[in-house]
Amino acid sequence: LNTLADDVNRNIVVLVNDFYQGHADAMVKLSEILNRELKGIVLLDAQVMAEHSNAPDPNGTFEQIVVDFSDDAAIRAALKQFEDKLLAVTATADKNQPYLQRLLPFVPYLLGPTESSLTWSTHKAIQRRFMERYDPTLVPKYQMIQAPNEVEKALRRLAFPMIVKPTGLAASLLVTKVENENELRQAVSRSFAVLDDVYARDKGRGKPAMIVEEFMVGDMYTIDVYVNDVGRVWTLPLIRAHTAHTVGREGFYEYQADTHLELTEEQKAAGANAAIAAVHAMCLRSTMAHIEMYLTPTGWKIIELGPRQGGQRQDIYLASYGIDVCLNEWLLKIGLEPQVDAEQSSFSSTVYLYPDQEGVIRSIEGVEKARKNPSIYNLHVHGNPGDMALLSSNGGKWVVRGLLTNPDKDQLYRDLEAVRSAISIKTDPVSEVSS
Amino acid sequence: MKDVVVFVNAIRPATFDALERHAAQTGEVFTPVVLVDEKIQVSIEERNGQLGHLQSVPRISANFDSPSSVQQALAPFMDRIFAVTSQYENSIHELRKLVPYLPYLHMPSESSLKWATEKSHMRELIGAYNSDLVPAYLEVQDASARIIRAIEQSMSYPVVVKPSGLEGSLLVSLANNAGELKAAITHTLDGAQQAYNKWIKRQAPVILVEEFMDGDMYSIDTYVSATGECRHTPLVHVVTGRKVGFDDFFGYMRSTPTDLPQAEIEAANFAAEQACHALGLRSVTAHVELMRTTQGWKIIELGPRIGGFRHEIYSHGFELNHIVNDILNRGGREPIIPEEPIAHVAFLNVYAREEGILRSVDGLHKVKKLPSHRASKQDYEIGELVTFAKNNGDPIVEALLVHADKSQLEQDIAATEELLRFGVEAPQYTR
């Protein structure tokens, strides 16, 4: 096992493009564990900076260094000044994985995944192929389509209902359920019409394409795992996820995720094993993986995997189990074992809010009132009046997102309902705004 | 038990003895397996001299462009793999393809293998790391007046023209003025594709023009660990063809130990280490060619594999088991590098003074009787066309000379040069 923990000269941790407070807080804890002061750097691509599409560090705790990631010599020269001090590097979101992939060969003595495994694990069709080969029972039947006129391929191979989704985007963007041929053709046609734009906005991985797969009947869960440089996998507790679709709303975004489970120990163990198989199938190492799964009548199936931690998982695991996901990630990246054993001390649920109707945001009301709810852990607003708000199935992103936690499960769910009721996102149809 | 060593595409014949020697000395037995890309299996077995020992080692073929084929081929011994190595430059391409399927073994990154097999990438990254290590260079696509002007604006004559993806000084030419430069670029462009085919190179040919470095040439093989520690083999002095009167850059003679002072050796090692780090290499052996110039050590080029004949040279000169060290290092263990020489070694590549049809080879039987003679090989048959390295040719005779007494070795080198005589007839071209 490689470990850089004992090299006292190495004191710099690097985030790629996006700053994340969880990693900054965890760096402080890691400093205490290693008994030396650590410094954080955000290595930011020049083009990403020009587009303002990164999450900046609001307090300037991490030094920002701008590099042209398309220029090998520029990366080489930029890193040379502190290469002997580098301790660990990571990237938070799927959109940043191609940048991490570019960076990794320039920091060969840090722990990280192979370049190809990042390509494979950020592309849903390749994921399916690899997992199917590893264990055919892990995945549903699927068909990749690269243009609207390839719908026939899916019609020949698959049975309805089906799910239509992009191959290289995350967060359930442009994901649609279809019940018949007409709906399939419409969904594919509608998605391809905006696909290039959404890929460009969200830095989609690979060539824009869609995947169609047979709909899985069952309950959705997620799990975040750590795999080290020799393939050992540590799994965090499963989380029950509810998509908007399952609660009768439009889209497949994560409407709510709960730490409360009604699973047997055997089911939990089987779920963890399916996640481990998925990680090994993708040949991942020295990384976290966020895995979405279905528990179906025929066992656990993998929906998809991302080579990074899941959204809000830092907060949800910390609030309910005292597990610091980011600290564990730093530990993993320096060759130490993540600390995953913990008792559940509280129940937690995430909440994602979209407008009921697409359009231009007129007002976002009730946020401050919701923040006073005793179960609130955090509540973030993404968007302002005047911004365009689309449904997730049309490539839109959440407007309000938060986490609630409470030792009393019933109180948590009452508070969850109260928060949802308190917040109102009002939109005006685009046509009215234009006129 | 981790005992399997995977050799990508081909295995050097000396490997079998090297593994036996290691087993006898340490009791550790490695099991060699050759994993070859089925698309190039026939050509690689012929080009890399595999036909003489096809039955000596299990050979498994797979389609390296098919994940299922590769994973199926690796499956039977996946849990037993200690290390994966490529002993030949023309097999690095396939090693790179294997890397992501073996994530829990010590392996170099895919990009570093690409960078380290293309001189243009090499120059760019080493230059970005430390510009003192490399000469001025330009990548060129043709010999147009515009290109010649651009070269003249960025460097001064003499300049060297070379293909970016070939080793061994193949198609390397010197140019002293614009006329020679234009002719050299045209010549290299014309011959590059043929040479890439001959040496089984899959990348598209790219031509480099760089400022000529005047000095003495040396090489080091450096074991780069998974965490970047560099352990260096002793320096080998390389006498190029130009130094002995050929208009060619091939390595005429390689000899060790050198008589360089310790400070110079350390400076050379440091230059090699910087080159390895600049290219992000890890878990490989790097064969580094350097020039000792009046401005310090410069990197000529680097390959992510053991150098040609270095196992034989180091075995006889230092009792250093280079092939096994390469395996140990790739498997995450420390190589064993004896520092004290036990003999003086010279390896000669002997070319004819003219190109043409080989009609006779005289004196080789007398060379074999010299006190220093250990091994020799005639690479061409009578009647075959022999050409210089700059025209994509191989040496006619290779000879390994070893002696504990340096003066005896020097006498035998001179005798070899004197005794070997080649009859070469100008080729007759007919319409």
pLDDT tens digit sequence for A220-259: 999 999 999 999 999 999 999 998 888 888 777 888 999 9
ipTM value: 0.89
Bond from prior residue into B335 cis (ω within 30 degrees of 0): no
* Gap from A354 CA to chain B (nearest CA, Å): 40
pLDDT tens-digit readout, B220-266:
999 999 999 999 999 999 999 888 888 788 889 999 999 999 999 99
Task: Name the least confident of A105-109, A225-229, A307-311, A396-400.
Answer: A396-400
Alpha carbon distance A85, A8 (integer Å): 9
What are the structure tokens assigned to A154, written together?
Answer: 């899916």
Band of pLDDT at residue B198, cut at 50, 70 and 90: low
Residue A215, judged by CB atoms within 10 A of its CB (0-12, 13-18, 19+), counts as middle
Bond from prior residue into B158 cis (ω within 30 degrees of 0): yes
Whether the CB of B277 is below 8 Å from some CB of chain A: the reply is yes
Band of pLDDT at residue B199, cut at 50, 70 and 90: low
pLDDT tens-digit readout, A408-419:
999 999 999 999
Measured torsion, CA atoms of residues B305, B306, B308, B309, in degrees rounded to the nearest 10: -160
Measured in degrees and rounded to the nearest 5, phi and psi for residue B156 equal: -115, 160
Q: Which alpha helices (H) appear in B244-288, and where do they start and end? A: 262-278
- Say which amino acid occupies A379: L
| Closest partner CB to B100 (pick from A4, A76, A117) | A117
| Closest partner CB to A116 (pick from B100, B124, B127) | B100
Q: Is pLDDT of B106 > 80?
A: yes
pLDDT above 90 coverage of chain B, percent: 75
Measured torsion, CA atoms of residues A148, A149, A154, A159, in degrees rounded to the nearest 10: 80
C-alpha pair distances (Å), B111 with each of A114, B42, B133, B304: 10, 27, 21, 12
Q: Is pLDDT of B195 > 70?
A: no
Q: Which alpha helices (H) appear in B319-393, and where do they start and end? A: 322-330, 364-367
> Which 8-state DSSP code applies to residue B205?
P
pLDDT tens-digit readout, A58-83:
999 999 999 999 999 999 999 999 99
| Closest partner CB to A230 (pick from B67, B104, B282) | B104
Whether the CB of A217 is below 8 Å from some CB of chain B: the reply is no
pLDDT tens-digit readout, A245-299:
888 887 778 889 999 999 999 999 999 999 999 999 999 999 999 999 999 999 9
Q: Residue A262: CB partners within 8 Å, gap ≥ 6?
A: none
Compute how many other C-beta atoms are within 10 angstroms of the C-beta atom of residue B243. Answer: 13
Q: In the prediction, which pLDDT does A1 show?
A: 47
Residues of A in contact with B103 (CB under 8 A): 113-114, 117, 231, 283-285
pLDDT above 70 coverage of chain A, percent: 97
Alpha carbon distance B357, B227 (integer Å): 51
Mean predicted confidence (pLDDT) in B69-79: 94
Q: Is pLDDT of A115 > 80?
A: yes
pLDDT tens-digit readout, A26-43:
999 999 999 999 999 999
Residue in B with minimal Cα distance to A75: B128
Whether the CB of A108 is below 8 Å from some CB of chain B: the reply is yes
Buried b / exposed e across A372-385, counting CB within 10 Å, b at 16+? ebebbbebeeebee
Cross-chain Cβ contact B67/A284 below 8 Å: no
Q: In the prediction, which pLDDT does B12 show?
A: 95
Whether the CB of B427 is below 8 Å from some CB of chain A: the reply is no
Whether the CB of B278 is below 8 Å from some CB of chain A: the reply is yes
CA dihedral sign of residues A41, A45, A51, A54: negative
Q: In the prediction, which pLDDT does A391 show?
A: 78
Q: Label the pairing between strands A142-145 and A210-214.
A: antiparallel
Q: In the prediction, which pLDDT does B206 show?
A: 78
- Say which amino acid occupies A357: Q
pLDDT above 90 coverage of chain A, percent: 74
Residues of B in contact with A117 (CB under 8 A): 100, 103
Alpha carbon distance B177, B162 (integer Å): 16
> Which 8-state DSSP code applies to residue A25?
H
Whether the CB of A82 is below 8 Å from some CB of chain B: the reply is no
Mean predicted confidence (pLDDT) in A185-190: 90
Mean predicted confidence (pLDDT) in B58-67: 96
Compute how many other C-beta atoms are within 10 angstroms of the C-beta atom of residue B26. Answer: 11
Kindly write down the DSSP assignment for every residue of B354-374, as one continuous string: S-EEEEEEESHHHHTTSTTEE
Whether the CB of A68 is below 8 Å from some CB of chain B: the reply is no
pLDDT tens-digit readout, A344-384:
999 999 999 988 888 999 999 999 999 999 999 999 998 88
pLDDT tens-digit readout, B357-392:
999 999 999 999 999 999 999 999 999 999 988 777
Residues of B in contact with A110 (CB under 8 A): none
Band of pLDDT at residue B299, cut at 50, 70 and 90: very high
Whether the CB of A132 is below 8 Å from some CB of chain B: the reply is no
Query: Is this prediction's pTM over 0.95?
Result: no
Residue in A with minimal Cα distance to B113: A105
